[in-house]
Amino acid sequence: MPATGRRALAVWAAAVAVYLLAVFNRTSLGVAGLQAADRFGITAAELGTFTVLQIGVYAAMQVPTGLLVDRFGPRRVLTAAALCMGLGQVLFAVAASYPLALVARAVLGLGDAMTFVSVLRVVAAHYPPRKYAVLSSVTAALGQVGNLLATVPLTFLLSNAGWSSTFAIAGAATAAYSLVVLFRVRDTPDGEQVPREAASLRDVVGQVRAAWRVPGTRLGFWVHFSTMFSPGVLGLLWGFPYLVQAQGLSPAAAGSVLSLLVIVAMVTGPVIGQVMGRWPESRVPMVAGFLLAAMVVWAVLLGWPGGVVPRPVAAVAFAVLAVGGPLSGVAFALARDYNPIHRVGTATGVVNVGGFTATTVTALGIGLLIGGDTASAGPSTFRFAFLAVAVVLLLGSWRTLVWWRRARAAVFAAETRGDEVPVRIRRRPWDIPAEQEAAAS
């Protein structure tokens, strides 16, 4: 590998490690939900508020993060992210009250929000566009190592070291890694990015509106919304209580099933990235196939007699849903392909809001539908509460289909005008009504 290639790899690896830590810290509550309910004496709805707040902050920060990266460069933003996440976890370790614990998760969500968009910017700066789809998928897959560490190993550490020591160690290690970012990450191959002048609020709003008006961006938003929320909700909070309380698994067995969300994502992520890179016209059809499979999976889980599914069925269901994580990378490829380069950061932030909005709404809905004490919730309670997942999945699938047709119509219109299009697609009979609608508007 040439020197420039080695330097790019070293910079990318240092940046990816921040994302790995972000995923670990983000999902650390997934196996500690029952302990958190006991520690703070809270209900299921209040437990769900942890995830709602953390992911809500994440979603709200995506567009500002894109603007911060554009202005200050990914190195500074990733350094701040590591420090924020470390502080959040240390606060969570020492929190003795529910309000302070909420503040801790909000600080953690703030740091988490600044990682993925920054890492994608590093990839865009150090690698050619043809490698972007593959490397963004590999980035997401490597990030799932953090999710894996937040299942079985974290369960073991919580059982042996206790709450305070576990989260304090996680926070200190994350904060310390900010020094590695300072010395190893570079904004561009030439060095550090010079901070740009701050844009006016009017310019910022105009940039966001311009990105949102692009059908490809809107399609990316709904693809991200639909694909990542199921594994997100299960991995972040409700998967572990569901497996233990509703399915009767031991904590160790539940952690093993949850780890499938990570292992499958790690294995399929690079494969999906390669397919996207070589056959970009297959991106959205892959998403459509997954959404159909997800509907079948949730129909089985919600409709199984008695609500208690055999362990192999639960394992297969979690494995299928795990594919939604790496498939959500299709959304970022759409944002990059259908927006000019000066607006890609903003479009990426807009797209990234989708899945975390869906996760926030679903996690809150499940908590409200469970109500009362999580530890006393049984199979029928969880089956009723998980109807929130079905509603969000149907909504996201419908909107994905709508904007898929509109985005295709926009591509055909561009071809008719003689414009360059990033992906050439074949016209199908169902495209004609969408083209007529676009022409009429």
Residue-wise pLDDT tens digits, 201-232: 677 788 888 889 999 999 999 999 999 999 98
For the chain, give every domain's residue range.
Answer: 3-189+201-440
Identify the segments of the chain with pLDDT beneath 50: 1-3
* Residue 32 CB burial class (10 angstroms; 0-12, 13-18, ≥19): buried
Please tell me the predicted confidence (pLDDT) of residue 147: 72
Exposure string (b/e) for 211-230, b if CB count within 10 Å is 16 or more?
beebbbbbbbbbbbbbbbbb
CA distances, 165 to each of 168, 169, 172 (Å) = 5, 6, 10
Please tell me the predicted confidence (pLDDT) of residue 192: 66
* Residue 270 CB burial class (10 angstroms; 0-12, 13-18, ≥19): middle
Cα separation, 33 vs 377, in Å, equals 13
pTM as predicted: 0.78
Closest to 185 (Cα-Cα) out of 269, 115, 273: 115
> DSSP letter string over 257-309?
HHHHHHHHHHHHHHHHHHHHHH-GGGHHHHHHHHHHHHHHHHHHHHHSTTS--
Please tell me the predicted confidence (pLDDT) of residue 1: 40
CATH class, domain 3-189+201-440, is mainly alpha
Q: Residue 287 corresponds to which tokens in the numbers above?
A: 């998403």
DSSP code at position 195: P
Please tell me the predicted confidence (pLDDT) of residue 437: 59
